[in-house]
Homo-oligomer: A and B are copies of this chain.
Amino acid sequence: MSNPDAVLARMREYMVGPTRFMILHACFELGIVEALRKESGLTAADLGVVVGAKPDAVEQLLVLPLKEGFVARDETTGGYTLGSLADVAEPDLQRVLTFMGMIKTGMMRQLYYLKDSVSTGRVVGLEELYGFEGTMFEAAAVVPEVRAAWGPLARSETASVYPWFFSSFDVPDGARVLDARGGNGLGAIMTCQLKGSPGLRVTTFDRPELEAECRKNFQAQGVAEQCDFVGGDVLESLPGGYDVVLLKHFVDMYDKDEVLTILRNAHGALEPGGQVVVLAPVYPEDITDPGDLQADFFPAYILGCVVGRGGLQKLSAYRSWLEEAGFEVTKVSAKDPAEIPADAIINRVVICATKRD
């Protein structure tokens, strides 16, 4: 893109990004789409009564969905009907709305402080909005609004990712598995359920304050005999003597020096020949790939809304960092493209690597 007009036109696209998002979101949030799903042909006046807004405002909000063909309008009656939105299956729509809800609550206002977050390495948006110092994950534990926005997305993502993740690597019979930053124990529980074998033992490693909840979940799921909890910080050290170390969903929340520390700690936690399994979204090797929107999303999400540091890397970067930390990559798995919905922003891989020396 070297024609100055093309650059200016592209910047214009950027400038309408926030409004496009919020107009569409408001149409769902107000219940306009739902009302049209229930009854076709409602006018702006009808819709105004249903959703509790002035008809003029409803009409304005619907101009963009009309432009997109998401809804249609009969110019004679003024009645609206669902357009292309009617073709989207309900579970697909719900998945998108869950993501959109997180963007609205967890990002729109926080993004205003992106520059400050980058300068300070802290999520300034959380401090400004909630007086909370820490990450969005930590905030979700104590701020109801953050939990309400993040919780449903986390569940939706987990449901879509975990079955595929656990099918992407092998756990030897009777192995000892360490789930680093394993949170409330879900990874350990699923390891028992999906990779079970006689003698299998799984340890969830995370901040000590998570121990009680984690052990309660082990009990509830009937895996307390096979599972244990160890408290600590992945940047300090990991316990030793394991055959498999899982690093799920978090290396992208650290900068390079920290990722290397974590990988070295994983190396130390493994027996000779042991395996580390990394689950992470990765940038495409060709960053100009227009089909991959992670560059458009993640830097602002991770730096400005979630942790104030870190970010995605290319697979080649993780490969070289794993080698630097004493591993040899043995297998990389990506999701079957046919199983990735068209609205998906995140593109994760599973990297298996063996302790080399």
Report yes or no: B67 in contact with A19, Cβ–Cβ below 8 A. Answer: no
Residues of B within 8 A of A2 (CB): 69, 84, 87
Residue pair A119, B52 in contact (C-beta under 8 Å) = yes
The residue from B22, B66, B112, B298 contacting A114, defined by CB atoms under 8 A apart: B22
Q: How far is the CA of A68 from the CA of B69 in the complex (A)?
A: 27
Q: How far is the CB of A336 from chain B (nearest CB, A)?
A: 16
B68 pairs with A10, CB closer than 8 A: yes
Q: Is A238 among interface residues, defined by CB-CB distance under 8 A?
A: no
| B118 contacts A26, C-beta separation under 8 Å | yes
A292-315: CB near B (< 8 Å → 1, else 0) gives: 010111111111100001111000
A70–chain B nearest beta-carbon distance, Å: 7
Q: Are B7 and A299 in contact (CB under 8 A)?
A: no
B297 lies within 8 A of A16 (CB): yes
A20 touches B19 (CB 8 A): no
Q: Is the CB of B119 within 8 A of A7?
A: no
Name A105-119 residues within 8 Å CB distance of B.
Answer: 105, 107-109, 111-112, 114-115, 118-119
> What 1/0 flags go to A313-349 for Cβ under 8 Å of B?
0000000000000000000000000000111110000
Q: Which residues of B contact A56 (CB under 8 A)?
A: 255-256, 309-311
Q: CA of A96 to CA of B345 in the docked complex: distance in angstroms?
A: 27
Most buried by B among A4, A52, A310: A4
Write out the residue numbers on chain B whose beta carbons fall within 8 Å of the beta carbon of A3.
87
Contact flag A88-B8 (CB < 8 Å), given A60-B303, A66-B287, A288-B69: yes
Does A104 belong to the interface (CB within 8 Å)? Answer: yes
Contacts of A255 in B (CB 8 A): 54, 56
Interface residues of A in 1-44 (CB under 8 A from B): 1-26, 29-30
Q: Once bound together, how far apart are the Cα atoms of A87 and B11, in whole Å?
A: 14
Chain A 104-144: CB-based contact to B (< 8 A → 1; otherwise 0): 11011101101100110100000000000000000000000
Shortest CB–CB separation between residue A347 and chain B, in angstroms? 12
11 contacts between A and B (CB under 8 A): A1-B68, A4-B92, A4-B342, A11-B100, A12-B344, A12-B345, A13-B293, A19-B299, A26-B118, A69-B288, A108-B109
Task: Beyond A1-B68, A7-B84, A51-B119, list 20 extra A-B contacts (CB 8 Å).
Answer: A1-B70, A2-B69, A4-B342, A7-B87, A11-B343, A15-B103, A16-B297, A17-B18, A18-B108, A19-B107, A19-B298, A19-B299, A19-B301, A20-B296, A26-B114, A29-B115, A56-B311, A60-B311, A61-B303, A67-B288
